[in-house]
Amino acid sequence: MRLSKYIDHTLLKADASLDAIAKLCDEAREYDFKSVCVNTCNIEFCKKRLEGTDVLVCCVIGFPLGAMSTEAKVFEAKDAISKGADEVDMVINIGRLKDRDYDYVCDEISRIKEVCGDKTLKVIIETCLLTDEEKVEACKCVMRSGADFVKTSTGFSTGGATFEDVALMKKTVGDKCLIKAAGGVRSREDFDKMIALGANRIGTSSGTKLIEKGE
């Protein structure tokens, strides 16, 4: 697989203008990235801007805290799919996970996956806020719930993806689901090592630099 196809080209800042989103899409088209990852208000704009390409439109829901009600997240996912989202990156309820209410976490993921249908669902567990034991339990919830990816981070908390976390996630999920490393992947060395450790997708705002450095 081409290295560019590992990249979800990401812009999730609150002050992102449509001009900035247009630039994101144009870069994704030029570099042939796997997707653009945006907030839900930009789905339709990106879908139109990327028409005629194979670049997917990915969006985030329950972002960045994950503390919304399950019903709100389900509605948000359903709305995103109806507007053309190809992939959905959801944030788990981190507090419920830390309470060891794994049934709650699994049920929420399952309900969102049901709405997504055959669209890809990635589950953000926010590794920087979890112990290693909690990371393992979160990965188990993702596998039990039928989601497609477990994802490290929002990039909006106290830390992003680490080599240690990606290795632990890979050890836990094996080949039962895919892994997305996101947050802080800005060097080509980090990019290459994340893939070597088992990451199937990289979420980054530095995609153009990562690919240019590899050419």
Q: How far apart are CA 22 and CA 26, in angstroms?
A: 6
Place of tokens 């590899």: 214
Write out the residue range of the structural domain in which residue 63 sits.
Answer: 3-214
Query: What CATH number is associated with residue 83?
Result: 3.20.20.70
Write out the catalytic residue numbers. Answer: 89, 151, 180
Stated pTM of the model:
0.97
Convert the chain into a string of H (helix), E (strand) and C (coil). Answer: CCHHHHEEEECCCCCCCHHHHHHHHHHHHHHCCCEEEECHHHHHHHHHHCCCCCCEEEEEECCCCCCCCHHHHHHHHHHHHHCCCCEEEEECCHHHHHCCCHHHHHHHHHHHHHHHCCCEEEEECCHHHCCHHHHHHHHHHHHHHCCCEEECCCCCCCCCCCHHHHHHHHHHHCCCCEEEEECCCCCHHHHHHHHHHCCCEEEECCHHHHHHHHC
Q: How far apart are CA 29 and CA 52, in angstroms?
A: 10
**Using CA of residue 62, residue 100, residue 125, residue 16, what is the dihedral sign?**
positive
Question: Could you report the per-residue pLDDT of 15-70, keeping only the tens digit for each?
Answer: 999 999 999 999 999 999 999 999 999 999 999 999 999 999 999 999 999 999 99
Report the half-sphere exposure of 79 (CA within 13 A, side-chain side): 13
Quote the mean pLDDT of the chain: 97
Question: Could you report the per-residue pLDDT of 155-185, keeping only the tens digit for each?
Answer: 999 999 999 999 999 999 999 999 999 999 9
The structural domain count of the chain equals 1
- Kindly tell me if the per-residue pLDDT of 195 is higher than 80: yes
- Kindly tell me if the per-residue pLDDT of 214 is higher than 60: no
